[in-house]
Chains A and B, each alone.
Chain A
Amino acid sequence: MTTTNSSNVVLDINNLVVGLGRKADAHRIIDDLSLQVHEGETLCLVGESGSGKSVTSLTVMGLQQKGTLVPSGGSVKLVGEELLTATDRRLRQLRATRMAMIFQEPMTALNPVVPVGRQIDEVLRAHTDLDSRARRQKILAMMEHVRLPDVERIFSSYPHRLSGGQRQRIMIAMALVLEPKLLIADEPTTALDVTTQKQILTLIRDLQRDHGTAVLFITHDMGVVAEIADRVAVMRHGRLVEAGPLQDVLRTPKMDYTRNLLSSVPSLVPRAPRPETSEPVVLEANELSKIYRERSLYGKAREVAAASNVTLTLRKGRTLGIVGESGSGKSTVARCIVRLIDPTSGGVRLAGREISDLSRRLLQPHRQKIQIIFQDPYRSLNPRVTVGESIAEGPINYGMPRKDALARARELLELVHLPPDAISRYPHQFSGGQRQRIAIARALALDPDVLVADEAVSALDVSVQAQVLDLLDEIQRRLGIALLFITHDLRVAAQICDDVAVMQRGRVVEQGPAAEVLTNPQQAYTRALLDAAPGRGWDFANFRPVSEGIVATA
């Protein structure tokens, strides 16, 4: 499949430069980028946020923001035809017929007020002379081809009636209905759950094999790369770092940046278990349930159990992970435990004291023992309050004099490896990873027994993610704090958790030591989750497949 014969190059990018604005000295978003994608081949374009990988794909399609992102040099050729100088009219003709694109967010990429069948139909009406019956037949055939069930019904459905996976299948059907030579997929599975992701990846693979399409696949996820790529190109700051066949890049990366990127990917193989401890239990959840009632004026109230009968135990100095797909109720449990929402039934014991039924006022003294870190580092700090004031807010609430609280904030900034002068700055002056450190410092300011991390590293790039995970580990060792770690990412869970609880539809389906649950799952659902984890055969940090590692250590 990886024949690098120049005769069948589909997409040929040479020395592409894309600047921010029209000026000659404009900042270069893409700088001297050269890539080729061949017929029947998948090229994975990998990079962290801001590396310019999405700009590259939009520039190929001619969909970049006009006037803001200006291609100022190099060439982009599609089957020999120059795209950068093509007229708008010609570009429109080429879209969907020669090149097509699918996007990251299936939730927003489809027009919400038009039935999905008609949205596919538009492609045919714009580019073919088929009559309406022929078009309909072709669309239904294509929808079956992307393995949608009940195509007649889905044809006339509106997007909001379909699941994320189904919508992404519609997008794929729309993109491939005219059999383009090139398919650009911009993070097409990032917004999907792992099990759906696996299905979509398989689908793209199979369709490509059947039609010989060239695929430019953009992703930040090394696991996905290992699943789908024939060749890999790594980008950073708009430049190509290195490119090569999948095996070469994963086994023998030539550049330091690639090595670092790979070694930051957490392994799915759980870390060596820490010895069991007999430290006191600091947090217990007993049969915790949260039921949402959707009341309507007429008819019956509908009940949705976001969490039901969740029982968890966490000891001092240990880390308990709650893993599950979106909508499994893991965040609901976290928020009930911190009492940001009130559980419907069941109990939460914090250091032996029941807190689930305390009123807001009586809860006040207990709040300081349990603190939470949120997912989005850009929204978890008040943009109008200095970092120091943010960190000092908790201690001041519990009676510490302002001066002492600010002094403590300085110490904490040092603890999370930020310079003490960060204290008088505002959040917008920090990067995502730094803000997450500040959020950790703020949570630690009250000396909590338990720290709840709700998807705390999910929004971060993989190298930053690794640093924050290291920091959490270090803090736990130094302060003996207990950590409740909520994540959808099994790799992260494998590297940080002592124990794991797997949740599905509001229930805990399996619970136990991480090493047991993640290597020898007893429940079908856990097995399915592990099976679907992309790139599970690869041990990226050690530049080899997992199977070779087992042989080596045996």
Chain B
Amino acid sequence: MAIDTLPESSLPVTRPFRVKFGFLTSTPIIAVATVCLVLIILMAIFAPLLAPHDPLLLTPAQRLKPSSAQYLLGTDAYGRDLLSRIIYGARISLVIGLGAAVCSIGVGLLIGLVAGFFRWVDAVMMRVMDGLMAIPAILLAIAVVSLSGASIWTVMIAITIPEIPRVARLVRSVVLTAREEPYVEAAISLGSSLPKIMWRHLMPNTIAPLIVQGTYVCASAILTEAILSFLGAGISPETPTWGNIMAEGRAYFQVKPSLIFWPGLLLSIAILSVNLIGDAARDALDPRMKQREGK
């Protein structure tokens, strides 16, 4: 009998599991989300060109004005232009979202890889991670910020810390599953060194789940930053952030609800877009991850 059929040699040599970004347009909803996110990013980058007024300029005579030709969305309680503040507010949200995602993935990946491979580190690190996870994220963040003073850096660190355990656990679980794979055992018997096994056989397994997790961290960081600002424990109030605008709007909620609704809407769209892209990325890159949907 002939050898079982070989693939046609004309078959293209495809690289499996390479990260492709085609999923960004896979459905109309995802495409809309992508467009929204791109628009918000552009708005943040070109804020100085787009904003009609200085977001910090106080004009007490123009307090709480309704929408007009001069102030498209009206003014806040200090007479600052709401539209300009919202446009600038995108900057903080995106920087914090991206920063927290990169930092938590960097630190979490390191902890997860080490914990997945060395048993004694694992025992200690996972207890620490359990402890960190037991502290509600908002409380942990406001405690850090209230002690070390509110700057964009402390807020970012405060938001990153509670995200680290989730990333570390994810990486660890991927490593623990992957190291049981026969191909990892084969690499051991081929005499491959530990760093080589980690880099070549274990690390690649973590990329897809990490991209997905990164988008979720990004969304949750934007949300947490807004909540911190809203509670008065975030970046200093005169800085235009969406959370700050809403926090100031609380007192005038019954007079001028748009102070809360406009930034709230933009904030929701930003987070929604990132989350939708995250879900699409998960479906496209890592079908297995549907099962462990711990967010």
Given A340-B188, A367-B189, A380:B183 Cβ within 8 A: yes
**Least Cβ–Cβ distance between A241 and chain B, in angstroms:** 15
Query: Chain B interface: which of A143-151, A195-203, A369-377, A527-535?
Result: A369-377
CB distance from B70 to the nearest CB of A (A): 58
Chain B binder among A166-174, A431-439, A506-514: A431-439
Instruction: How many A-B residue pairs have C-beta atoms within 8 angstroms? Tell me.
Output: 90
A371 and B201 within 8 A (CB): no
Known: A424-B13, A426-B15, A467-B3. A384 touches B187 (CB 8 A): no
Contact across chains for B9 and A419 when beta carbons are under 8 A apart: yes
Establish whether residues A397 and B191, one from each chain, have CB atoms under 8 Å apart when the complex forms. Answer: yes
Give chain B nearest CB distance to A344 CB in angstroms. 18
Chain B residues 1 to 24 lying within 8 A of chain A, measured CB to CB, are 1, 3-7, 9, 11, 13-17
What does the 1/0 interface line of A356-388 toward B look like (CB < 8 Å)?
A: 000000001001101110111001111111000
Residue from B1, B181, B189 in contact with A379 in the complex, judged by beta carbons closer than 8 Å: B181
Shortest C-beta distance, B225 to chain A (Å), equals 36
Given A384-B17, A426-B16, A428-B16, A419:B6 Cβ within 8 A: yes
The count of chain A contact residues (Cβ–Cβ below 8 Å) is 45
Q: Which residues of A contact B183 (CB under 8 A)?
A: 379-382
Kindly provide the distance from the CB of B236 to the nearest chain A CB, expressed in whole angstroms.
Answer: 47
Q: Please encode chain A, from 462 to 502, with 1 for each CB lying within 8 Å of some chain B CB and 0 for all others.
A: 01101100000000000000000000000000000000000
Which of B7, B17, B186, B191 is within 8 Å of A364, CB to CB? B191
The digit string for B191-206, where 1 denotes a CB below 8 A from any CB of A, is 1110010001100100
Distance between Cα atoms of A368 and B192 in the complex (Å): 10
Chain A residues with CB under 8 Å of B6's CB are 418-419, 434
A370: B residues at CB distance < 8 A: 189
Minimum CB–CB distance from A543 to chain B (whole Å) comes to 17
Q: Are A380 and B182 CB-contacts (below 8 A) given A425-B7, A434-B4? A: yes
Give the CA-CA distance A342 to B185 in the complex, in Å. Answer: 14
In the assembled complex, the CB of A439 is this many whole angstroms from the nearest CB of chain B, namely 7
Would you give the shortest CB distance from B9 to chain A, in whole angstroms? 6
Our pick among B4, B7, B185, B190 for the contact of A446 (Cβ within 8 Å) is B190
- List of A residues within 8 angstroms of B196 by Cβ: 397
In contact, B4 and A431 (Cβ under 8 angstroms): yes
Residue A260 lies at the interface, judged by CB distance under 8 Å to chain B: yes
Contact of A340 among B7, B14, B189, B192 (CB under 8 A): B189
Given known contacts A382-B201, A421-B9, A467-B4, A374 and B182 CB-to-CB distance under 8 angstroms: yes
Min C-beta distance of A328 to chain B, whole Å: 20
Known A-B contacts A367-B191, A428-B16, A429-B7; A384 and B185 likewise in contact (beta carbons under 8 Å): no
B interface with A by C-beta (< 8 Å): 1, 3-7, 9, 11, 13-17, 181-183, 185-193, 196, 200-201, 204
